Amino acid sequence: MAAKLKTAVLGATGYSGLELARILQRHPRLEKPMLLRRRQRSSSGAQDLGADAPADLAEVFPQLAGNGGYPLRAWSGTELRAQGVKLLFLATPHEASRRIVPEAVAQGLRVIDFSGAWRLKREEHRAVYGFHDADAAMAAKLAERGVYGLPELHADCIRKAQLVANPGCYATSVILALAPLVKAGWVDRERGIIADSKSGVSGAGRAPTAKTHFVSVADNVSAYSVFEHRHLGEMAEQLGLQDEELTFTPHLLPIPRGILSTIYLRLNGQRRAAEIEHCLREFYAERGWVRVFAPPKLPQIQYSLHTNYCDIGFCLADDGRRLVMVACLDNLLKGAAGQAAQNMNLMYGWDEREGLP
The angle at the Cα of 355, spanning 313 to 261, to the nearest 5 degrees, equals 25
CA distance 197 to 230: 14
Phi, psi of 303 (to 5 degrees): -70, -35
Q: Given 157, 169, 315, 328, which residue is catalytic?
A: 169
3-state DSSP assignment of residue 242? coil
Point out which residues pair with 184 in neighbouring strands.
none
Q: Find how far residue 316's CA is from the centre of its chain.
A: 29
Q: Is 171 exposed, middle or buried (0-12, 13-18, 19+ CB in 10 A)?
A: buried
- Half-sphere exposure for 117 (CA within 13 Å, toward CB): 24
Q: What is the DSSP string of 73-115?
A: EE--HHHHHHTT--EEEE-S-HHHHHHHHHHHHHTT-EEEE-S
* CA distance linking residue 347 with residue 114, whole number of Å: 16
315 is catalytic: no
Active centre residues (catalytic) = 169
